[in-house]
C-alpha cells in the first residue's frame, strides 16, 4: 500500500521508529491542496500539518510516498488516531498514482505556526528524501 507523508512522517527516523522498515519510498507531491498547520497536537506542543483542498492545480504540497504492508499502516493509523483517506499523488517520475493513503483532518481553523521541533522534523524529512533547498524553503514559508 502506498502512503503519502507531508508532515513529520517525512522524517525517516520518525517513520523507522513508528513502523520499522518499509518496502520503498520516494519524493512525490499532491496537486490542488495547500499545506496548513491547523491540527492541534499535545504530542508536538502546537499545531501539526494538514492538507486543505483548494482545487487549484497549481497548488502543490511536497511530500514522500512510502510503500508499506497493511500491518505497518495499521500501526501508523494508531499513531495518527484515525484511518487514512485515499488521494491522488504525483510520483517522482510524473506518474499519478491513484488512491494513495494519506491522513487528513476536516478542520477549518486558521493555520498556526508549528512548534520549532515539529517544523525542524519536517525540514529534515524533506532533506532525507533528497529535496533541494529551494523546495525546503518553499515548505518552510508555510510555517508563518
Among 99, 87, 98, smallest CA distance to 55 is for 87
What are the residue ranges of helices labelled H in the chain? Answer: 12-19, 70-80, 116-128, 133-140
Question: Residue 139: which domain range?
Answer: 2-143
Residue 144 confidence (pLDDT):
78
DSSP state for residue 72 in the 8-state scheme:
H
- What CATH number has the domain bearing residue 131? 3.10.490.10
Residue 82 confidence (pLDDT):
94
pLDDT tens-place string over residues 73-102 = 999 999 999 999 999 999 999 999 999 999
Cβ neighbors of 77 (< 8 A, separation 6 or more) are 83, 84, 103
Q: Report pTM.
A: 0.96
Number of domains in the chain: 1
Residue 108 confidence (pLDDT):
84
pLDDT tens-place string over residues 127-139 = 999 999 999 999 9
Helix (H) or strand (E) holding 101: strand 96-102
- Give the SS3 label for residue 18: helix
Residue 119 confidence (pLDDT):
97
pLDDT tens-place string over residues 6-57 = 999 999 999 999 999 999 999 999 999 999 999 999 999 999 999 999 999 9
pLDDT tens-place string over residues 113-124 = 999 999 999 999
Distance CA 117, CA 114 (A): 8
Residue 39 confidence (pLDDT):
93
Cell numbers given for 14: 520518525
Cell numbers given for 32: 490542488
Among 33, 109, 106, 95, smallest CA distance to 65 is for 95
Amino acid at each position: 500500500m502506498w502512503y503519502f507523508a507531508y508532515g513529520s512522517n517525512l522524517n525517516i527516523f520518525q517513520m523507522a521508529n513508528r513502523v520499522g522498515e518499509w518496502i520503498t519510498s520516494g519524493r512525490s507531491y499532491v496537486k490542488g491542496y495547500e499545506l496548513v498547520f491547523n491540527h492541534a497536537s499535545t504530542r508536538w506542543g502546537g499545531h501539526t500539518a494538514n492538507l486543505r483542498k483548494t482545487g487549484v492545480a497549481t497548488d502543490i504540497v511536497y511530500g514522500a510516498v512510502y510503500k508499506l504492508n497493511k500491518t505497518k499502516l495499521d500501526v501508523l493509523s494508531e499513531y495518527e488516531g484515525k484511518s487514512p483517506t485515499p488521494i491522488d499523488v504525483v510520483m517522482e517520475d510524473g506518474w499519478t498514482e491513484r488512491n494513495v493513503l494519506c491522513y487528513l483532518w476536516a478542520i477549518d481553523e486558521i493555520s498556526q505556526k508549528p512548534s520549532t521541533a515539529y517544523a525542524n522534523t519536517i525540514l529534515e524529512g524533506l532533506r532525507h528524501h533528497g529535496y533541494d533547498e529551494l523546495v525546503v524553503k518553499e515548505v518552510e514559508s508555510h510555517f508563518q
